[in-house]
Amino acid sequence: MSARVITITSGKGGVGKTTTTANLGVALARRGYHVACVDADIGLRNLDVVLGLENRIVYDLVDVVEGRARLRQALVRDKRLPELQLLPAAQTRDKNAVNEKQMMRAVNEKQMMRLCDDLRQQTDFILIDSPAGIEQGFKNAIAPADQVLIVTTPEMSAVRDADRIIGLLQAAEKAPPQLILNRLRPSMVKRGDMLDTPDVLEILAIDLIGIVPEDEAIISATNNGMPVAFDGRTSSGKAFVRLAQRLLGERVPIPPLDESPRFVDRFAKLLRR
Amino acid sequence: MEEILGEALANPLNSCISFKGTREGLHISLGEGAWQDLLKELAVQLDRPGVQSFFRGARVLLETGNRAIGVSELEELIGMLAERQMTLSTVLDDPEAQNVLAKMQASAEGQAVPSAAPQAAASEAPPAAAASEASPPAATEGPAAAPSEGAPAAATEGAAADSTASATKSSAESGSAAGAEHTPGSSPPSEPTPAADPSAAAGATPEDQVPGPGADKETKTTALPPPPEYLPMEHPRNVTPPVSFDDSESKNDSSPALIFRRSVRSGQTLKHKGTIVILGDVHPGAVVIAEGDVFVWGRLRGLVHAGAAGNNSATVSALTLAPTQLRIGTHIARAPDQRTQHTSPAEIARVRGNQIVLEPWNGGRI
Ligand SMILES: Nc1ncnc2c1ncn2[C@@H]1O[C@H](COP(=O)(O)OP(=O)(O)OP(=O)(O)O)[C@@H](O)[C@H]1O
Ligand SMILES: [Mg+2]
């Protein structure tokens, strides 16, 4: 086995990296693939919460890197879905910010690569949840990546940051990343009040691999530690399942959201920009 | 370059002049013979078909042999090289001639740009004694932008646009240029964001127009070379830079045009002493700063500054010209809030009267 390493990153914070990582992990595992989700957001870990595995953590990524634990000891297996494992980030919630920074710097790209090399032997996919920003944590997250997915919301600030990340990936000579457009609201797009997919793609000029609609189910799913991809009935759950299929190379078209906006509205929006 | 030169020189010359291409430039070593004969011979060799274009833009490091060279000889040689768009950067084996050369270089620059204070450039400029062998003064480096009229003045003027930094420095040190001011060389070269520019202009008396970066240079722009008649593209530079590219302080071979073969993205900065050609889009949040013109084969939506050393005759062209902010020379303009779709194949911005105007381009000269 030699896993494919996929890093999920964004530049801007809070756009849905962790949600995406968790749901892709679940969707791929439900297809029978072995998946290891790695929380590279050291100091602000929450992938464990979203996956509902928080209370089973004993060791974390930093413990492994610093030799206090073996990889196998730190990996948390999901009992609901044995194909899914989590390598949690170090927790510093109750410590001060200085510690957090130190912790972030405790891990470097090389260590991250080595860690992934070990992990590669045991799984089909390694999904790395990147922290926001372009600092060390981001560099660690993309260093081992074979493929990078960029998450953005249809907001100008998020798109700008995504653009910046794309530039950095180019500079790092990574393969061109793919885009996930998250939290799209069909009604707002229809009114011409939200950037639409073509608008975003025109700016970023990279391939779109999925669109995830704004969905309240995601919030309750997060609270329950049960990602929406577990039961593919919600609109966002379906979107994540399709996203996973596309990662597997299946040709699944991106369905239009409800109905597409009237041409006139889009034209009006272009003028307003 | 080494390779190319090697090829051009593969055919050894049965003369007393020998050539060697190196990283620093073209080494020319003179042997026995009368000065005038050598000069003629050199011209013949440089004009050999096929060789000529390889040498264009080259910096020359001269070995004089055992001969004493004075000002007039140097001038002759510089002029002859300038006709071929080459520059004499260093005299390797004759400290006295090197001194003379350094003075000529310094004073030529001093004239061309009396007290230009380009962005944060002085910080890393070599000391004026840079006339040393190891690092020839930046001033002598990017001359090929000069049209081929040929006189020594043309060559050094062309160079001046590329290296106002060291001009400032050397004239300040020789005490010859009144009011030479040191740039607050604090901002790091890797971040030549527009924010750095106003600081360079600080202390200048603001003029009526919007005080764009380098507004203090308005009156001096006459000294800058006119934009080249054509774009010398024989040796355009192709960069696939990391996040940002800035050669405004470069001491390396700087040819006139920089070709960037992809889009410039948010957070990226492209900075060049000459003309910049971008084959791709300039995204919102990207910054492009050129001392020459800017051509974008794509959509221009970021911030662009053409003629950044104060050249108000610079132009900015793009297939779609919708920059967040546009600066040409000392002028500055922001994008209109609304833009109608243009129908021309391309658009061009230039300074007319006292403001930047945006015109459709429907063919013809730029
Ligand atoms: N499609 C969606 N619909 C509704 N809410 C969403 C959606 N995607 C994400 N959210 C919510 O947005 C918030 C931020 O999501 P998430 O934690 O995944 O972002 P992140 O990019 O990982 O943030 P950070 O940069 O802090 O790591 C969460 O509360 C999540 O529930
Ligand atoms: Mg997160």
pLDDT per residue as tens digits for the range B206-220: 333 333 333 333 333
Cβ distance A85 to A71 under 8 Å? no
Domains in chain A: boundaries: 4-272
Non-local (6+) Cβ contacts of B138 within 8 A are B125, B126, B130, B162, B163, B165, B166, B249, B250, B251
Q: Facing residues of A213 across strands?
A: A184
Beta carbons of B243 and A203 less than 8 Å apart: no
What pLDDT shows up at residue B47?
80
Same domain, B210 and B319: no
Q: How many domains does chain B have?
A: 2
Between these two residues, B362 and A168, which has the higher pLDDT value? A168
Q: Which atom of ligand 1 is nearest to the CA of A151?
A: 21
pLDDT digits (tens, 9 = 90+) for A160-193: 999 999 999 988 889 999 999 999 998 888 888 8
Same domain, B89 and B153: yes
Considering A258-262, B216-220, B320-324, the range whose residues carry the highest mean pLDDT is: B320-324
What pLDDT shows up at residue A257?
66
Residue A208: pLDDT above 70?
yes
* Inside any domain, residue B315: yes
The rounded percent of chain B whose pLDDT value lies above 70 is 52
The arithmetic mean of pLDDT across residues B108-120, rounded, is 44
Task: Tell me which residue has tokens 């440089």.
Answer: B46
A205 to chain B: which residues are within 8 Å by CB?
263, 281
Considering A184-188, B39-43, B153-157, B279-283, the range whose residues carry the highest mean pLDDT is: B279-283
Domain that holds residue B86: 10-252
CA angle (B292 as vertex; B290, B298 as ends), nearest 5: 65
- Mean pLDDT of the residues in chain B: 65
pLDDT digits (tens, 9 = 90+) for A19-35: 999 999 999 999 999 99
Nearest CA to ligand 1 atom 14: A14
Q: Which of B224, B252, B280 is the last residue of a domain?
A: B252
Same domain, B215 and B338: no
Both structure tokens of B29: 């070593």
- Mean pLDDT of the residues in chain A: 89
- Three-class SS state of A132: coil
pLDDT digits (tens, 9 = 90+) for A47-105: 999 999 988 998 999 899 988 899 999 999 999 999 999 999 987 544 444 555 566 66
* Inside any domain, residue B320: yes
B342 vs A: CB within 8 A? no
B241 to chain A: which residues are within 8 Å by CB?
171
Report the residue of chain A nearest B341, measured CA to CA. A271
Distance CA A208, CA A81 (A): 28
Distance CA B173, CA B126 (A): 12
Q: Is A214 in the pocket of ligand 1 (CB under 6 A)?
A: yes
Same domain, B131 and B91: yes
**Predicted confidence band at B114 (pLDDT cuts at 50, 70, 90)?**
very low
Q: Facing residues of B317 across strands?
A: B295, B348
Query: How many angstroms away from the CA of B310 is the closest CA of chain A?
Result: 29
In sign, the C-alpha dihedral spanning B111, B112, B118, B120 is negative
A163: part of which helix (H) or strand (E)? helix A156-171
- Three-class SS state of B109: helix
What pLDDT shows up at residue B8?
38
Considering A104-118, B31-45, B103-117, the range whose residues carry the highest mean pLDDT is: A104-118
* Inside any domain, residue B366: no
* Inside any domain, residue B5: no
Query: For residue B175, is it left (φ>0), alpha (ψ between -120 and 50) or beta?
Result: left
The rounded percent of chain B whose pLDDT value lies above 90 is 19
Cα→Cα distances B178→B69, B110, B114, B127, B142, Å: 31, 10, 8, 19, 26
| B343, B344, B345, B349: CA torsion to nearest 10 | -120
What pLDDT shows up at residue A74?
94
**Predicted confidence band at B157 (pLDDT cuts at 50, 70, 90)?**
very low
**Predicted confidence band at A270 (pLDDT cuts at 50, 70, 90)?**
low
What pLDDT shows up at residue B210?
37
Nearest by CB to A167, which of B268, B284, B338?
Answer: B268
Q: What is the ipTM of this complex?
A: 0.74
Q: Which of B201, B222, B252 is the last residue of a domain?
A: B252
Q: Is A215 in the pocket of ligand 1 (CB under 6 A)?
A: yes
What pLDDT shows up at residue B83?
83
Residue B178: pLDDT above 60?
no
Q: How many CB atoms are located within 10 Å of the residue B336 CB?
A: 9
Distance CA B95, CA B187 (A): 35
Distance CA B181, CA A191 (A): 56
Distance CA A21, CA B309 (A): 48
Q: Which of B204, B231, B252 is the last residue of a domain?
A: B252
Distance CA A269, CA B7 (A): 57
Residue B335 is part of a domain; what is its CATH number?
A: 2.160.20.70
Residue B276: pLDDT above 90?
yes
Beta carbons of A160 and B281 less than 8 Å apart: no
Cα→Cα distances A142→A116, A132, B212, B274, Å: 11, 12, 39, 35
Distance CA A176, CA A166 (A): 8
Both structure tokens of B296: 């974008």
Beta carbons of B262 and A163 less than 8 Å apart: no
Residue A5: pLDDT above 80?
yes
**Segment among A226-235, B41-50, B109-118, B306-315 with least mean pLDDT:** B109-118
Same domain, B136 and B191: yes
Same domain, B125 and B193: yes
Beta carbons of A205 and B263 less than 8 Å apart: yes
What pLDDT shows up at residue B104?
80
Ligand 1 midpoint to CA A22 (Å): 11
Same domain, B16 and B158: yes
Same domain, B246 and B307: no
Nearest by CB to A203, which of B262, B268, B283?
Answer: B283
Q: Is A141 in the pocket of ligand 1 (CB under 6 A)?
A: no
Give domain A4-272's CATH number out of 3.40.640.10, 3.40.50.1820, 1.10.3720.10, 3.40.50.300.
3.40.50.300
Between these two residues, A93 and B167, which has the higher pLDDT value? A93
Non-local (6+) Cβ contacts of B16 within 8 A are B30, B31, B32, B33, B38, B41
β strands within chain B, DSSP E: 17-21, 26-30, 59-63, 87-91, 237-239, 245-246, 257-260, 269-272, 275-278, 287-290, 294-300, 303-306, 316-321, 325-328, 331-334, 346-352, 355-361
The arithmetic mean of pLDDT across residues B171-182, rounded, is 35
* Inside any domain, residue B365: no
B281 to chain A: which residues are within 8 Å by CB?
205
Same domain, B75 and B107: yes
The one-letter amino acid code at B118 reads P
pLDDT digits (tens, 9 = 90+) for B30-81: 877 788 888 888 888 888 766 666 677 778 888 887 777 888 888 888 888 8
* Inside any domain, residue B60: yes
pTM of the model as a whole = 0.59
- Three-class SS state of B126: coil
A163 vs B: CB within 8 A? yes
Residue B165: pLDDT above 90?
no
Distance CA B211, CA A131 (A): 40
Same domain, B221 and B350: no
Both structure tokens of B356: 């930047």
How many CA atoms lie within 13 Å of B63's alpha carbon, on the beta-carbon side? 14
Cβ distance A207 to A179 under 8 Å? yes
Distance CA B37, CA B17 (A): 11
A166 vs B: CB within 8 A? yes
* Inside any domain, residue B4: no
What pLDDT shows up at residue B109?
60
Q: Is A10 in the pocket of ligand 1 (CB under 6 A)?
A: yes
Q: Which atom of ligand 1 is nearest to the CA of A222?
A: 31
Considering A29-43, B158-172, B233-247, the range whose residues carry the highest mean pLDDT is: A29-43
What pLDDT shows up at residue B143?
37
Closest CA to B297 of B250, B246, B261, B333: B261
Residue B108: pLDDT above 80?
no
